Structures are given as structure tokens and as C-alpha cells.
Chains A and B, each alone.
Chain A
Amino acid sequence: MTTIKKPKLAVWKFASCDGCQLSLLDCEDELLTVASKIDIANFLEASRRVVKGPYDISLVEGSITTPHDQKRIRQIRKKSKYLVTIGACATAGGIQALRNFRNVDDFISIVYANPQYIETLETSTPISSHVHVDFELRGCPINKQQLIEVLSAFLFGRKPNIPPHSVCIECKRRGTVCVMVANGTPCLGPVTHAGCNAICPSYCRGCYGCYGPKETPNTTSLSTWFSEQGVKKEDIVRSFRTFNAYAEAFRKESIAHEE
């Protein structure tokens, strides 16, 4: 009997909260099955065991914020057949990309007493600014079912089935009444990438855009609607400037409303 060599998976962390890689451990029902099909060769959040590369799939969490990490991501790319980024930090720079709109030295002195100990770049950037990325899975955090879908797609050599439409479509599918139409609650759903299954509106709250921009988002039109509903300029800036602040569509829209 021949044994089939299992594909090797690696999970890497950059500047992030660990939540997206935790999604893999949160697959309580699937974890042991996944582990029987894939060799989890490098996943430091979960294991001391480290198997050397090359790896069939690398999952990358976090954004690039230090000179050391700039080098590290290039090494990881070299030893990975497929590189998939998971989450808003890796895909758009994350909440820590708010530094990109300000002077990072001010930030350091606010937080640390001895800034000379701190080595950091002026910006927080997505992985795709540094190396080629084979697939970007969005969300802050990612949806664990989508993660399983991406992993199985790459294992079987097919395209992941991750729809790029808006959160609005998800609301319609689950039958949630529109919070903006019914209650006048500002909602980023029309411009935000699907994937969460429209959680916030189902809890009577406007979408806050944690999955980043959808394909071809009309952010200008949405901002006009916000203004007409009485949302102040500075709050429009804040709403586009959160976990995906540096994603192009959101970045441009927030800058357009800045005084």
C-alpha cells in the first residue's frame, strides 16, 4: 500500500491580533479532519513542531510594520507554493495602518517612554505590497467556513468560491430589514465585501466595513447618502478609517472628506 504524502501547511504571523489564525483552531468540528488531510508543518500558535519548507500553502496573518518583517515575508514567499493572506491586516494593513495617515514618531512617543528601543516602519502595509499573493481572504476577523473553503480549493486545485459582492446581498438573502432604509442607521453594507453573512444589521446595527471594500464600490454615493442623513464629515472619515482604512477605495473616500 502506498501512502500519499500530505500537503504541507504553514501559518505565519506578522503585526496582528492572532484572531485570524485562531479561526483555524476555532474549527472545533473540522480541526481533526483537516489535520488528517494536511500536514500542519509550521503553526507556532498551536505547535512546537516545526517542519522545514518548502510548503504547499502558507497562510499569512498580519501586516508589515518592521524592517525585519519586510525581509521575513520575502523568505516565506520563496518557500511557499501558494501564499494566501488571511484577514484585514494582511490584506489591507489592518487597524495599525491608521499610522499611515499620521506621523509615526508622534505615535511612538505617545506610547513608549523610550522611543529609541522601538524599531518600526512609518507605514503598515498589506502583504501584497511586498510579495505576490495568490489569494486574499478578507475580514476582521475572517470567516472560518471561508477559510476551510479556501484551503480545500487550493488542495484540489480549483478556484475558491468566495463571492466578491456586497454585504447588502447577504442581508437580502437572510431576510434582514435594511437598517438604513428602515431606521436611518448609517451602514457601510453597500460598499463592503461580503463574507461575514451580514451580522451587524441582524443585530440592529450598521455594518462597519470590517471585510473591506467589495469589488467596484461606489463609496462617493454612499457618503452622499450619509451626509443627507445628517452624518457629520468627521464621522464619515472615521467610518471609512477603521480596520481596512488603507484599502484603496476606503482610503480615498476618507481623504476626500478630511478638512
Chain B
Amino acid sequence: MKSKRIKVNYLARVEGEGALYIKFKNGSVRDVKFKIFEPPRFFEAFLRGRTYNEASDITARICGICPIAYQMSAVHAMENGFGITVNGQLRALRRLIYCGEWIESHALHIYMLHAPDFLGYPDAIHMAKDYPEIVRRGLQLKKVGNEIVSLLGGREIHPINVQVGGFYKVPARNELEEIKEKLKQARDDALETVRWTAKFSFPDFERDYEFVSLRHPDEYPFNEGRLASNKGLNISIQDYDNTFTEEHVPHSNALHSVHKERGAYFVGPLARYNLNFDRLTPLAQDAARSAGLLPQCHNPFQSIIVRSVEVLYACDEALRIIDQYEKPEMPSVCVEPREMTGYGCTEAPRGILYHRYRVDGEGVIMDAKIVPPTAQNQKTIENDLWHFIPKNIDTPEEKLTLQCEQAIRNYDPCISCATHFLKLHIDRE
């Protein structure tokens, strides 16, 4: 009999139809629900019985915006279980493809999904009528990110070149050289993006969050590190399930992830920045300081500046990797399946993405667990609204609705489509 407490349980469900429900009584907030209605797709269930090397292509389909994140967490979990380490240029290429995804995904969110909130437009296309050069700059940045993913991955959405042990094919040095000039331009554009977003006006809103991200001895984190927080967390990836748990609440098809003792926590660019400012390149650190950001930033509305700083970092890092690139002899290292449990956690554009697989001696998946960043942020998003709304209780309804949407989009909940579907119901008693 299958137990109802199987630890594999919860489905990685990300973007989709979401709604917000807020209830007031006597001028105070009585209920806040950020609902996700995206229909369940049962990835963790149908991964059972698939082979270890299919996990990266299958889980990529959870999200068309950050497929690399799913592929990276899947292959690292498998390699962890099989006791394989991917080093040298293959490791560097994985960082490079992740740089591409961060640039593409962040540029999409900054320019097309979040900036219209600050400037008062329904979308980037309307914004382009007044700011054509700025929107073009954003599209250009996004395109460079996509070009990196396409070059290494074959295409920008659901790339095909990633596998356990490395890649199917690796590029020649001159193929990477071709993208260098564009990346230099992108780095300039990213710097302009930091300056541009720094000029927006931000609600005065800070909370004492528990920020959780990977922390690596000498890199700004993508694929490796320990899980750390500003409240003393310092664990290996294997200890994720001992530290965090997921709750299934009636109003959401996504699961709320919480720290077992301390409750809600915060993942994503702001968490990475707060925990890893010292690992940014000097260029990115200087840009952040010039934009008025301190190494600590607790205002989620300013995440748009932090996202821009990360785009700048990703351009810088991509150029460094390309400069030091030499084509490896083999596109992948040898993999010998064995019975195992493997753990992987990487930094998706929106925050940590955890995968765990149990595989039998033939390399067939027995069970799988996936925790996407949006599930981890969901409770923090609701808590933000609990705190934000009382401060702005007298704001006219239309403006308050917009501000609540903006507060949700601070987290870039996978493509923000959940929040674009947002219907605000305000009950005033």
C-alpha cells in the first residue's frame, strides 16, 4: 500500500492562474490568500519508472521560462547520487548556460513584467510608446541571454544539449568568441539597467526576513554550495528535507514550503544578494553601491534593482568564462548507474530549486521530489501582504489592487503570469 505520507509528495507547480483574496473587518486585515489555480500536472508521479537521464528533459517542461534551472538541478541530483563530479570546462559551461538563463529571465521580468508597475503602464508594449529605446534595450538584453542558451543548449526554450555527466556536444572556442562582442554590449546595457531601475520610487517597506540561498566558498552561486541563511542556517543539500517541509493548504494547488522551526522564508535574487554580496564581481558591487544599495537590502520592492545587478554579474561572469574557455576533449564524463538517492539544489532565476531522486540499480527512478522557488516564496508573499495592506488601508481600491499586484511581482512568481491573472476581491465589513 502507498502511504499518504510519502516524502516525494508534492508537485512542482509554478506559474499559472492565481488570485488574491483579502478580507477586512473594521478597517483591519482579517484574511489574505494568494491562490494558485494552475491545474496539477503530476510530474513527481510520472517521473516514477522513467530512466535517470530522462529527468532533465522531462522536468524542464515544468517551466518554459527557467528550463535550465530544472535541467541543472536534475543532473546535479543524479550526479550526486552516482558519485560523479563534473569539473573543469564542463562545469564552466554549465555556469555559462545558467548565466544565459538568468540574463534572459531577469530581463524579461525587469523590462516586461515589473517595470510597467513602477512607470504606470499595463505592459511593456504600451511603455514602448513613451520609452522606445528603453524597451528595445530590454529586448536586446533578453536576446543575448537567449543566444547563450541557444548556443550551448540548441534552443532557448527546453534546450536539448544537457545530460547527466555533461553535454551531448560542446562548442568550439571560436563559436563562443562570436558572442563576446554582444555580451560586452549587454554588460553596458545591464549597467544602464541598474541606473535606470534605481531611479524608480519604492514604497517604504522592510521586514525581517529569513533569506535562504546557496553559498559557495568563492563564487556567486549557481550550481553548488551549502544552503545558508541570515538566521544561522548552514546545511548541506542532503539536509534540505530535515530542515524544510511543505504544507498542502486548501486554497492552493502549489504547496507552501516552510522552515520546520522558523516558518516562512525568502528565496531568489534578494536572498542571494544579501548572503553573497562579497561574491559579486567588483563591477557589480560598484554598480549596486552607486545605485544606493547597501550590501544588505530588505525592501522586496527594490528586488528589481537587485535583479539588474545580477544581470550585470551574469554578463561579467559569462565573459570571464568565455575568455578562459578551452574545448574539453569529451563532452561528458562516464556515468554508471547504481542504486542511490541523489540530491540537487541550484539557483533558478527565482531562487533555490530542490530535486531529490531515488534510483534503482538499473537507473530507473523510483521516486522524485521537486520543490520550486515559487512554492518556497508563497508564504512570504502572503505575509508581505498582511504587513503591507494595513499601512496602506486608506489607499483607493484601484491603486491598492495595483500595489498588491506589484508586491507579488516583487518575487517574479514564475513568469508572473499567476499575478497577471490576479483578481482582487476586497471584502469590507
The reply to whether A13 and B417 contact each other, CB–CB distance below 8 Å, is: yes
Q: How far is the CB of A258 from chain B (nearest CB, A)?
A: 12
Taking the nearest CB of chain A, how far is it from the CB of B317, in angstroms? 22
For B248, what are the chain A residues with a Cβ–Cβ distance below 8 Å? 112-114, 117
Shortest beta-carbon distance from B156 to chain A in Å: 6
List residues of B (7-62) whose CB comes within 8 Å of A's CBs.
8-11, 15-17, 38-46, 48, 50-51, 54, 57-58, 61-62
Q: Are A140 and B61 in contact (CB under 8 A)?
A: yes
- Asked if A19 CB lies within 8 Å of chain B CBs, one says yes
- B40, B125, B140, B154: residue with the most chain A Cβ atoms closer than 10 Å: B40
Q: Could you tell me the distance in whole angstroms from the C-beta of A238 to the nearest C-beta in chain B?
A: 7
Which A residue's beta carbon lies closest to that of B125?
A35
Contact-size category for A: 35 or more
Contact A29:B122 (CB < 8 A) given known A19-B65, A203-B160: no
The docked-state distance in angstroms from the alpha carbon of A218 to that of B428 is 63
- CB pair B2 A23 closer than 8 Å: no
Q: How far is the CB of A150 from chain B (nearest CB, A)?
A: 17
Instruction: Pick from A44, A98, A210: contact of B417, CB below 8 A.
Output: A44
A98-116: which have CB < 8 Å to B?
98-99, 102, 104, 106-114
Binds B, one of A45-53, A155-163, A248-256: A45-53
Partner of B4, one of A40, A65, A113: A113
Cβ distance B98 to chain A, nearest Cβ, rounded Å: 18
Chain B residues with Cβ below 8 Å from A65 are 39-41
Known contacts being A25-B112, A112-B11, A113-B9, is A69 close to B157, with CB within 8 Å? no
Contact between chains at A110 and B160 (CB < 8 Å): no
Q: Answer yes or no: B333 CB below 8 A from chain A CBs.
A: no
Q: Is B155 an interface residue (CB 8 A)?
A: yes
Interface assignment of B146: CB less than 8 Å from any CB of chain A:
yes
Given contact pairs A99-B46, A140-B61, A69 touches B146 in the complex (Cβ within 8 A): no
Q: How far is the CA of A20 from the CA of B15 in the complex (A)?
A: 14
Binary flags per residue of A66-109, CB closer than 8 Å to B gives 1, else 0: 10010000000000000000000000001110110010101111
**Chain A residues whose C-beta falls within 8 Å of the C-beta of B16 in the assembled complex:** 13
B135: min CB distance to chain A, Å: 7
A28 touches B168 (CB 8 A): no
Q: Please, how many angstroms separate the alpha-carbon atoms of A222 and B405 in the complex?
A: 51
Q: Which residues of A contact B168 (CB under 8 A)?
A: 200, 203-205
Closest to B414 in A: A18
> Is A240 an interface position by the 8 A CB rule?
no
A22 touches B65 (CB 8 A): yes
A242: which B residues are within 8 A, CB to CB? Answer: 54, 57-58
Q: How far is the CB of B113 from chain A (nearest CB, A)?
A: 8
Q: A13-B417, A47-B122, A99-B42 are in contact. Are A203 and B161 (CB under 8 A)?
A: yes
**Is A15 among interface residues, defined by CB-CB distance under 8 A?**
yes
Residue A26 interfacial (CB < 8 Å): yes
Contact (Cβ within 8 A) A120 B39: yes
Contact B143 A110 (CB under 8 A): no
Instruction: State whether A199 touches B154 (Cβ < 8 A).
Output: yes
Q: Does B128 contact A (CB under 8 A)?
A: yes
Interface positions of B from 82 to 127, Cβ below 8 Å from A? 108, 112-113, 116, 122-126
Report A17-59 CB contacts with B as 1/0, cut-off 8 Å. Answer: 1111011011011011001000010001111110000000000
B54 touches A238 (CB 8 A): yes
Pairwise interchain contact B417-A45, C-beta atoms closer than 8 A: yes
A118 within 8 A of B: yes
The reply on A213 being an interface residue by CB < 8 A is no
B9 touches A110 (CB 8 A): yes
| Interface check A246, CB cutoff 8 A | no
Beta-carbon contact of A44 and B421 below 8 Å: yes
Q: Which residues of B contact A (CB under 8 A)?
A: 2, 4-6, 8-11, 15-17, 38-46, 48, 50-51, 54, 57-58, 61-65, 67, 108, 112-113, 116, 122-126, 128, 132, 135-136, 139-140, 142-143, 146, 154-158, 160-161, 168-169, 248-250, 253, 255, 331, 405, 414-417, 420-421
Can you list 5 A-B pairs with a CB-CB distance of less than 8 A? A47-B126, A69-B39, A95-B58, A110-B8, A111-B42
List 7 tightest A-B contacts by C-beta distance, closest first. A19-B64, A47-B123, A49-B122, A107-B45, A28-B143, A98-B46, A111-B11
